[in-house]
Amino acid sequence: MRGPAGVSVPVRVRPGAGRTRVGGRYEGPHGPALIIAVGAPAVDGKATEAVRRALAAALGVRAAEVSLRLGATSRDKVFTVAAPPEEWEGRLADLRDDNG
């Protein structure tokens, strides 16, 4: 979903994982979501910040171009990516298809 501030990317968060992993698809409340596992605990926004940085790295954009739009205290979040979509949307599709 595109808006004036960027493109929305639904994410399903798995906090407290053994390692950071970005890949897979989850049918969440905000549509098909990218699954992101992070080692950070779901306390004081630590997991959300780790997910924001992991999403930026996986898409190949600067962390400053990724911001939380919805779901500060939920496992189902929506981030906005402000970078030009043609630079990263293909990577997002590949990551959603990654089941490994």
Report the alpha-carbon distance of residue 4 to residue 72 in Å, rounded: 21
Locate 5 and state its tokens: 């501030």
CA distance 59 to 35: 13
Task: Pull the structure tokens for residue 99.
Answer: 């089941």
- Give the pLDDT confidence score for residue 98 in this predicted structure: 80
pLDDT (tens digit per residue) in 33-51: 999 999 999 999 999 999 9
pTM: 0.91
The closest of 40, 55, 52, 38 to 95, measured between CA atoms, is 55
The whole-number pLDDT of residue 99 equals 64
Per the domain annotation, does 93 fall within a domain? no
Per-residue pLDDT tens digits of the chain, which is 100 residues long: 555 578 999 999 999 999 999 999 999 999 999 999 999 999 999 999 999 999 999 999 999 999 999 999 999 999 999 999 999 999 999 998 886 5
Confidence (pLDDT) at 97: 87
Does a structural domain hold residue 6? yes
The set of residues, in sequence order, having a beta carbon less than 8 Å from that of 16 and lying 6+ positions away, is 39, 40, 41, 42, 47
CATH number at residue 36: 3.30.1200.10
Range of the domain at 52: 2-87
Is 22 within a domain? yes
43 falls within a domain: yes
Residue 95 resides in a domain: no
State residue 4's pLDDT score.
55
- Number of domains the chain contains: 1
For residue 38, tell me if it sits in a domain: yes
What's phi and psi for 47, nearest 5 deg?
Answer: -65, -40
